[in-house]
Amino acid sequence: MRKLLIAGCAAVALGGAAVAVAQTPRNETFRMLELFGDVLSVVEQAYVVPVDNKKLIEAALGGMMTALDPHSSYLAPAGFGELRERTEGQYSGVGLTISAEAGLVKVISPMDNSPAGRAGVQPGDVISVIDGASAAGLSVSEVSDKLRGAPGTSVAVTFLRDGEDPLEVILTREVIKIESVTGRVEGEFGIIRISTFNENTVRELNETVAELKAANPDIRGYVVDLRNNGGGLLNAAVGVSDAFLDRGEIVSQRGRRPEQIDRWAARPGDLTGGLPIVVLVNYGSASASEIVAGALKDHERATIVGLTTFGKGSVQTVIPLRGGEDGALSITTARYYTPSGRSIQKIGIEPDLEVSRSAAEARIVSRSSFIYSEAAYATALDASIGEERRGAHVPLEAPGEAWPEDKDYQMERAFDVLRAGGNLAALAPAPEGIVVTPVEQQNAAVTEE
């Protein structure tokens, strides 16, 4: 069975595949291939020092793929192996999901309880310096190679963040055992944290919900926390959505040709027994996370609380080259659509209740140049439906500067929604100290002096 990975920079493997080559006239294609050979020959003979032709060709392949969109790439053999390790749930490194744009490598999301996560790295941070050397112009694979290494070794990394001083940290590499699903009971509610979507996610979800029910048989509802979840396997996203739905379409994907449509539908059976659900999201929730949020929102099975998601609505297929001996191509093959037929590519999933976690996060949303999303990529695919992502605006709710940093405001509002049975009309007012933006001001950007 094929697997599709829809996370920030890759997807899952198809066995072998024939790839249709370009639509440019055949003679022109051959002429340009000859040009490539001529350039390589000139570089080999005239460059000031001897060159590594293999390295040059791999770089050319990488450039060709990234010219398509931010998520298509060439994976050298080592990179292909790393991708498989990630989807299997364990590897050695610092715990970051990254992507590249305009010569900069940015963080899509830090992994829970990873060296990077514990150091305070956030979605949208730019990797500026690695071990004293500039990271400008490096590819995702090159940055990944520098960040990975033997457990116990260290790497010095500088991160740039809009509006703040550079974050300089020493990260000690460790074996990243990706625990996809964790849970805890807080009062009358169960909290399900899904940090990524891998081969173990659906099994871990079932185990976690069973543990929560055993801990408190009188649970009144669940919070599914997808914040800073950068995505993963399509099949895992479908399985998680299916766990909370009794029927109906979960997601569809549509390729280049009209007949290239695949659909996934829910089977009978709701893991929670129909209890209210709140899904927490933010701009670090991407790809597979957006499939789950979109499916549960469209079927009115859950209330979405938080901030508009990243907006990655494309599917990548990894096609091994010569069985993986020469690496693989991770190439965008389709867009995906929510049950209502909406493409979220460059748009994202908008929450039912817009809430920022902090005053600083609200400022980021209010300034368009600081919003980190798929729409920020110059080469991103369009949504194919004529819609655009909502621009800079003041979030509906944001805690004031005095709100305690160790108190999760988004989670508090999720609990309020559950207490109201998922009915926003019956939702209790925001607590004291919260900025609630009047409707007429929500579309106005904040200007800072």
Catalytic positions, written as ranges: 287, 298, 312
CA distance 111 to 430: 30
In whole angstroms, give the CA distance from residue 115 to residue 124.
17
Answer whether 392's CB lies under 8 Å from 366's CB.
yes
66: helix, strand or coil: helix
| Pairing verdict, β 314-320 and 12-13 | parallel
- Work out the number of other CB atoms within 10 angstroms of the CB of residue 74: 25
End-to-end CA distance of the chain: 56
Distance CA(130)–CA(138), nearest Å, equals: 11
369 touches 324 (CB < 8 A)? no
* Single-letter code of the amino acid located at 421: G
Going by C-alpha positions, the residue among 95, 92, 70 that lies closest to residue 82 is 92
Distance from chain centroid for Cα 104: 17
Which structure tokens are listed for 218? 């009188």
Give exposure, 387-422, as e/b (b: 16+ Cβ within 10 Å).
eebbebbbbbbbbeeebeeeebbbbebbbbbbbeeb
The burial class, CB within 10 Å (0-12 / 13-18 / 19+), for 301 is buried
**For the chain, the helix, strand and coil percentages under 3-state DSSP, each to the nearest 5:** 30, 25, 45
